[in-house]
Amino acid sequence: MKRALITGITGQDGSYLADHLLDLGYQVWGVVRQTSAGESPALARLRDRVEVIQGDLLDQGSLSRAVRQSRPDEVYNLAAQSFVGRSWNEPVHTLEATGMGAVRLFEAVRDHAPEARVYQASSSEMYGYAAAGPVDATGPFLPHSPYGVAKVMAHHSAAVYRRSHGLHVSCGILFNHESPRRGPHFVTRKVCRGAALAALGHSEPLALGNLEARRDWGWAPDYVRAMHLLLQHPEPLDMMVATGVSHSVRDLARVAYAAVGLHWEDHVRLDQAQLRPAEIPNLTGDPTAAAELLGWRPEVDFGEMIRRMVLAELERLTPAGLPRGAPPPRVDAPPPH
Ligand code: NAP
Ligand code: F7E
């Protein structure tokens, strides 16, 4: 039975990856940080199936203990301060957690499990301004946000541990991926919740920022399959994971509100406060290498994903069923979780 250690197991990707690895017969350990708010719903769902180890990306000793205790065959570093918008307000914390946190974990692996295969969660945000021209898994990287800088730091550090210390570290350069488990401040979840609220008769308009930004949005459960496949490749690799198709935030709003029979223009307002200090107009990936080298293909397309997310929001908002008189949701996807 293979043993996997996941940091960020309470996040969107960590929780889907844990489900996936458990289905494959792995023993799974998760690094979880202590919070004053108590146990998160994500952890409550996983607790009886995974081994939980207290730890924090900011604390070297806790990461070293996590690697020593779990004796992993595979380590997935998914923990991060992952919200790009927040990274302008908290650049130091973002660099410490998202950048230095990865280095701390690589050190722990080097000392306590040098044979383990390591997955580093790199990001399309690393391309930043370079995305205006041709990019591939080697770059160029010209990040526009403190988050992007932190991810570049971790990405280049992974290459150092690979070349200098012989660690088997692979970096998945993942483009945006979404699900009902997405954090509420990310734009897909925010828009899908807005559409569900509007369908239930709430009249407060949804405040959005840049409607023209284009992102390559995929389905998170598809992307955790790619993470696992990447670590099964005999050689450590850097690999783009994307759908190859982008949509604008405007498209996203149109599809989400249309899923409940509404016109987005009637329910969305522009809000300067949602604009970022810098923006990448278009981030679109190329899934060719992932298809050729890993046999990976995304299975859920953008429209289906948004319908699933809107349906999940309707279910969250009406746990006892729709109220009398509420417009029947037109979303026809199966429950996603
Ligand atoms: P997420 O939902 O925001 O989850 C982040 C996880 O990191 C949570 O479990 C969080 O724990 C944990 N964490 C944050 N700070 C920590 C710290 N100081 N010590 C220990 N754990 C900490 O992120 P995600 O969407 O699953 O993304 C997974 C990884 O992929 C991240 O590294 C992200 O930057 C990267 N990525 C994501 C995407 C995407 O589109 N989703 C694309 C490219 C790359 P708490 O529950 O305690 O907050
Ligand atoms: O923004 C625009 C915003 O916050 C997407 C993380 O997982 O993917 C994610 O980062 C786009 C941006 O995700 C609003 O300006 C417009 O252009 O959902 P987001 P993100 O910043 O792309 C990358 C690949 C990661 O690695 C990150 O960890 O949508 N946008 N209006 C808005 N965004 C938000 N959040 N809220 C708005 O109102």
Residue at 238 is within a domain: no
Q: Are residues 210 and 313 in the same domain?
A: yes
The H helix count followed by the E strand count for the chain is: 12, 14
Q: Which domain holds residue 148?
A: 3-174
Of 195, 301, 177, 183, nearest in space to 240 by CA: 177
- Give domain status of residue 163, yes or no: yes
User: Is 125 annotated in the active site?
Assistant: yes
Average pLDDT, the chain: 95
Is 237 a domain residue?
Answer: no
| 162 and 204 co-located in one domain | no
pLDDT value at residue 181: 97
Report the predicted TM-score, pTM, of the whole model to 2 decimal places. 0.96
Q: Do 22 and 73 reside in the same domain of the chain?
A: yes
**Whole-number pLDDT of residue 35:** 83
Tell me if 80 CB under 6 Å of ligand 1.
yes
**Are 165 and 64 contained in the same domain?**
yes
Cα distance between residue 151 and residue 130, in whole Å:
15
Q: Are 49 and 22 in contact (CB under 8 A)?
A: yes
Give how many domains the chain has, as a whole number: 2
Between 131 and 327, residue with greater pLDDT = 131
- Cβ atoms within 10 A of the Cβ of 156, count? 15
Q: Is residue 334 part of a domain?
A: no
Whole-number Å distance, alpha carbon 214 to ligand 2 midpoint, is 10
The answer to whether residues 161 and 212 belong to one domain is: no
| Side-chain-side CA neighbours of residue 278 (13 Å) | 15
Check whether 337 has a pLDDT greater than 70: no
Q: What is the mean pLDDT of residues 299-321?
A: 94
- Residues 170-225: tens digit of each pLDDT: 999 999 999 999 999 999 999 999 999 999 999 999 999 999 999 999 999 999 99
Residues 75 and 58 grouped into a single domain: yes
Does one domain contain both 118 and 210?
no
Whether 36 and 81 map to the same domain: the answer is yes
- Lowest-confidence segment of 80-84, 197-201, 205-209, 327-331 by average pLDDT: 327-331
pLDDT tens track for 22-77: 999 999 999 999 888 788 888 999 999 999 999 999 999 999 999 999 999 999 99
Residue 326 binned pLDDT confidence (cut-offs 50, 70, 90):
low
Both tokens assigned to 124:
């399309």
CA distance linking residue 25 with residue 197, whole number of Å: 39
pLDDT greater than 80 at residue 327: no
Pocket test for ligand 1, best of 82, 243, 252 (most atoms within 8 A of CB): 82
Predicted pLDDT at 41: 87
CA 251 – ligand 2 centroid, Å: 14
User: Is 108 part of a structural domain of the chain?
Assistant: yes
Q: What percent of the chain has pLDDT over 70?
A: 95
pLDDT per position as a tens digit, 228-278: 999 999 999 999 999 999 999 999 999 999 999 999 999 999 999 999 999
| CATH classification of the domain holding 270 | 3.90.25.10
CATH at residue 50: 3.40.50.720
**Is 117 found in the same domain as 41?**
yes
- Residue 336: per-residue pLDDT: 33
- Which residues lie with the beta carbon below 6 Å from any ligand 2 atom? 82, 84-85, 123-125, 175-176, 185-187, 190, 208-210, 213, 215, 249, 274, 276, 279
pLDDT score for 15: 97
- Is 259 within 8 Å of 330 (Cβ atoms)? yes
Name which of 321, 183, 205, 180 is nearest 264 in CA terms: 205
